[in-house]
Structure formats: structure tokens, C-alpha cells
Amino acid sequence: MGKTLHVQRSATIAAAPERIYPLLDDFRAWERWSPWEELDPDMAHTYSGRDHGVGAVHAWKGNKKAGQGRMEIVDADPPHRVDLALKFLKPFKSENTTRFTLADGGPGTTSVTWSMDSPMPFMMQVVNVFVHMDARIGADFEKGLAKLSSLATE
């Protein structure tokens, strides 16, 4: 078992990066495609900093399933990459780095890769033996990428 969890999923979306990128660098747009929104329809969202891009901040507080946390866009290369600092406060504390990368996927398509790196303290390593975190988080990433694809191709 490693000391860092790396989860990564990719999807090819039939849209230009310029169509997809605004859905990633504006946290208000996440409410339309994030796989975690459906966990708590009454989730409270707070936005601060810039409206989009580096310095944009989104904090949320939801039920036990949605938890509580904060994310901030810390670096970007429009329309190719968005880097986030992601901090979970509940149901467990964790600090993660997340990246969206958009690359040429072939004629009229974009390959979107969503990745997350998270430290794995000993107790998390033990939990990972029983609840394979890559599969669990990866399924959420796949669901989010499918929703993102649907939204970007409307």
C-alpha cells in the first residue's frame, strides 16, 4: 500500500476545450454536473474570491453523505488545465490536490482527465483494504465526467 492515493479517470467529450473549460473553472457551474450534488439536494454552497479561475473558492456543507469542505482553484492554463486545492472537513479531514486536464481527443473531441492525489495516513490505508478508494471515488469521477459530457454537448 502506498502512502498516497491517486485516482484518475478520463472521458472523450464531443466538444471543444473552450466549451468544456468554463464548466470546470466556475464553481457555480459544478452544481449542474458534479456527482456529489445529488447526495444532498439541500446542500449549502458558499462562493468567494473570484467568480472563476485562479482564486475562485467554493465551500459546501451538506448532510452526512455530502459532508463539508472547501476547494479553491490554485492554478490554471485555460482552456487546458485547472488545478484545485480540495479540503474535506467532514465526514473526515483530508487535504487533496485535484487536476482537470483537457487535451485534443481527435476530430471534434476533447479528452478530459480528472485526477486526485490524497495523502494516505495509516488508518486510511487500513480502510482502503476493505473499501477500495480508487474504485469508489473513480465511480464518482466517471459519473461526473458523463454529466459533464452531457452538459458540454447540449
Q: Is the pLDDT of residue 44 over 90?
A: yes
Q: Is the pLDDT of residue 61 over 60?
A: yes
Residue 82 vs residues 38, 65, 68, 86, 100: alpha-carbon distances, Å: 23, 26, 22, 12, 5
Expressed as residue numbers, the domain containing 49 is 4-152
* pLDDT for the residue 136: 77
pLDDT: is 131 or 78 the higher one?
78
pTM for the whole structure? 0.88
* Domain tally, the chain: 1
Mean pLDDT confidence for 82-100? 92
Mean pLDDT confidence for 19-27? 97
Residue type, position 135, single letter: A
Tens of pLDDT, residues 106-120:
899 999 999 999 876
- CATH number at 34 reads 3.30.530.20
Beta bridge partners of 59: 46, 70
Percent of the chain at pLDDT > 90 equals: 69
